[in-house]
Amino acid sequence: MSTKTRSSVLISILAAFVSVSVSAQTYFPGRHDWQKRAPEEMGMSSTLLSEAIDFAIASESDAPKDLALAHELSAFAREPFGQRIGPATVRAPLNGLVVRGGYIVAEWGETAKADMTFSVTKTFVSTVVGLAFDRGLIRSLNDRAKDSVGPEFQDLFASEHNQKITWDHLLRQTSDWEGTLWGKPDWADRPEGEKPADYPNRKKHEPGTRYKYNDVRVNLLALVALNVWRRPLPQVLNEYVMKPIGASTSWRWHGYENSWIELDGEKVQSVSGGGHWGGGMHISARDLARFGYLYQRNGVWGDRRIVSEEWIRMARAPGVNPNYGFMNWFLNHPVADEGKTAAKPIPAAPDSSVTFRGAGANIVYIDWDNDLVVVVRWIGEGLPEFIAKVLGAIQAPSPTENGAHR
């Protein structure tokens, strides 16, 4: 063996050794054992972190904790067809966690209580679509959605407009799908027009050209995904994500009282993509933190890949809306507004950070630059300042940042 060949072999062996060592150093919590570290051990100030938490608690939403009542008092209930048709919880007070390097450095409130998480549910919808994509059940995101559903659902895509809609359009909320699903017309969700008579005659937009946050269309995506998997989406999520990451058994993913279909001779509920009319994902802050940590570790948990890097890359890529990737990946890109200085949704956070967001507000903040996951629930309007205070508590690089990649 030549000297050059021996050198190449040695370099390869050393590279492999370093790779294994780095992987071995990355901490992943066991199901019943999530280790804690003092903030100072993870390069953060306990004093400044406590101040951030105090700020969050003081910023708690003032909406009723009975979320069924909160719905009735909200603008959603005053929309056409706005009645609640899914279950709701009585929520806990504001609670959350700060995780750095995989270790809990701060935790407050009832973080084990499973509560509605509203539109964070959308990230679970896109995740089960990603699992199908990774397994080849979806050939291309540019394929038409109509080609994935059975004959009993073809009417949902019968119009010339709806026939054009692809997986990518649904994932990015740019489909402009027209129709009614589970008793809710598309136009009734966040209706547009100067007067109610205008709502049903909304302007149509070519699929893929306009972003519109719309829960009816999210529920359509969940139904199409159900057709692809041919099994309940909560079962898919549990088998391929929640059990592997050590989530609790307290979470529940609900649909509506009228969203049951017959599939392969069995009654199956098509789940909802949010809590707009009740239902959606009911989950604890601790389980949300595990879910966020899975993505902060780029789809890997321990020695197992759960979500592909390709899917995460696509989910983080902006669409027509420069601060929205796949549902419910809110990006933090600076966007200029009519010649004004470019601004970010969370000014203190890195451009590369993302949040999964739901009404309330329910927030999962993921920061690869700072090796950080933050979950905060029911914070009201104080999110940007709260995140700024958490980031201000960082005084040194994370000692385990080897596991975090942009």
| Residue 23 clears pLDDT 90, i.e. is over it | no
pLDDT score at 339: 63
To the nearest whole number, what is the mean pLDDT of the chain? 92
Compute the distance between CA of residue 321 and CA of residue 361 in angstroms, rounded to an integer. 21
Q: Annotate 97-106 with b (16+ C-beta within 10 A) or e (fewer).
A: bbbbbbbbbb
pLDDT score at 335: 82
| Residue 5 clears pLDDT 90, i.e. is over it | no
Compute the distance between CA of residue 221 and CA of residue 122 in angstroms, rounded to an integer. 10
- In order of 14, 117, 155, the CA distances from 315 in angstroms are 34, 20, 29
Whether 18 maps to a domain, the answer reads no
Whether 388 maps to a domain, the answer reads yes
Confirm if 163 and 157 have CB atoms less than 8 A apart: yes
Whether 27 maps to a domain, the answer reads no
Whether 204 maps to a domain, the answer reads yes
Question: What is the reported pTM?
Answer: 0.92
Compute the distance between CA of residue 215 and CA of residue 68 in angstroms, rounded to an integer. 18
Compute the distance between CA of residue 376 and CA of residue 120 in angstroms, rounded to an integer. 12
Confirm if 308 and 132 have CB atoms less than 8 A apart: no
pLDDT in tens, 217-273: 999 999 999 999 999 999 999 999 999 999 999 999 999 999 999 999 999 999 999
Whether 33 maps to a domain, the answer reads no
Length of the chain: 406
pLDDT in tens, 85-116: 999 999 999 999 999 999 999 999 999 999 99
pLDDT in tens, 9-18: 343 433 443 3
Whether 2 maps to a domain, the answer reads no
Three-class DSSP category at 21 = helix
Whether 235 maps to a domain, the answer reads yes
pLDDT in tens, 51-94: 999 999 999 999 999 999 999 998 888 899 999 999 999 999 99
The closest alpha carbon to 128, from 226, 213, 219, 215, belongs to 226
The number of folded domains in the chain is 1
Q: Cα dihedral angle (299, 118, 132, 178), rounded to 10 degrees?
A: -140
The closest alpha carbon to 319, from 337, 333, 298, 299, belongs to 333
Compute the distance between CA of residue 332 and CA of residue 350 in angstroms, rounded to an integer. 7
Three-class DSSP category at 133 = helix
Confirm if 120 and 357 have CB atoms less than 8 A apart: yes
Q: What are phi and psi of 342, to 5 degrees?
A: -60, 135
Whether 337 maps to a domain, the answer reads yes
| 405 compared with 125, residue with greater pLDDT | 125
> What is the residue-wise DSSP string for 232-286?
-HHHHHIIIIITTTT--S--EEEEEEEEEEEETTEEEEEEPSSSBTB-EEEE-HH
Q: Report the CATH number at residue 318.
A: 3.40.710.10
Range of the domain at 272: 40-406
Confirm if 279 and 234 have CB atoms less than 8 A apart: no
For residue 224 the two structure tokens come to 């199409």
Confirm if 292 and 302 have CB atoms less than 8 A apart: no
Q: Would you give the DSSP letter of residue 194? A: S
